[in-house]
Amino acid sequence: MNTLPDPIYSEDGVTLYCADCTRVLPLLEPMSADLVLTDPPYPREFLPLWSTLSKESARILKEAHYCVSYSGQMFLPEVLTRMTEYLKYRWCVALLHAQTQIVWPVKHFAGWKPILLFQNGGDGKESHKIRKDVFENRETSGKRFHKWGQPESESTDLILQYEGMNILDPFAGSGTTLVAAKRLGRKAIGIEISEKYCRIAIDRLRQKELF
């Protein structure tokens, strides 16, 4: 019988597993998360992970709650196809970049990034909250910890768009979602395969100046 691995960090309602999310996600309790907020890897070879994210989010999320995921644009059609295998597409948020970058295969300057919203069942009306669909990224602080990292302020803004205490990040990276959740007094579970980034995440979570 499969059992959850021991977490490498578990304090103040925040838990971090250093493991492959495809191993850990099936072992988490069903309907135990209020929000999935994550940033999976974008290259082609990682596309199957989006199917895993869709399937496990549908099982772990409470009814009518949301999976909110950053995405690249290069393989966006397949990402949408895989994510809607088990979840309902609800909206696309535009994240305006502080700096543009060239996507050479398609010869475009990328000045924004999609943040995709998917709902676990429901009718799109799980609350009366009106959410915004444009965010501006005017800082690059997240890159200090991970070359693809997002700033903590951005994760904080996204978390505040949604209700509920329990947050799940299956691709936790350097722990930005977990740090933001802890600062907001939310509970969170993170999963990260890289030992290097797990160590960075733990250091961030244990910073005395966090509060």
Q: pLDDT tens, 3-25?
A: 999 999 999 999 999 999 999 99
Q: Are strands 166-169 and 187-192 parallel, antiparallel or unpaired?
A: parallel
| Structural domains of the chain sorted by starting position, each given as residue range(s) with its CATH number in brackets | 9-210 (3.40.50.150)
Write the single-letter amino acid at 127.
S
Question: Would you state the pLDDT for residue 211?
Answer: 45
Q: What is the DSSP letter of 7?
A: P
32-69 burial string, b = 16+ CB within 10 Å, else e?
A: ebbbbbbbbebeeeebebbbbbbbbbbbbbbeebbbbb
Other C-beta atoms closer than 10 Å to the C-beta of 105 total 7
Q: How many residues does the chain have?
A: 211
If pLDDT is split at 50, 70 and 90, which confidence band does 173 have? very high
| Residue in the structure block whose two tokens are 């994210």 | 53
Global confidence as pTM: 0.91
Round to whole Å and give the CA distance between 53 and 86.
9
Phi, psi angles (nearest 5°) of residue 135: -120, 150
Instruction: Name the phi and psi angles at 78, rounded to 5.
Output: -70, -35
Q: Give the tens place of pLDDT for each residue, 68-126.
A: 999 999 999 999 999 999 999 999 999 997 767 777 777 787 789 999 999 999 876 65
Instruction: Decide: 52 and 27 in contact? Cβ < 8 Å.
Output: no
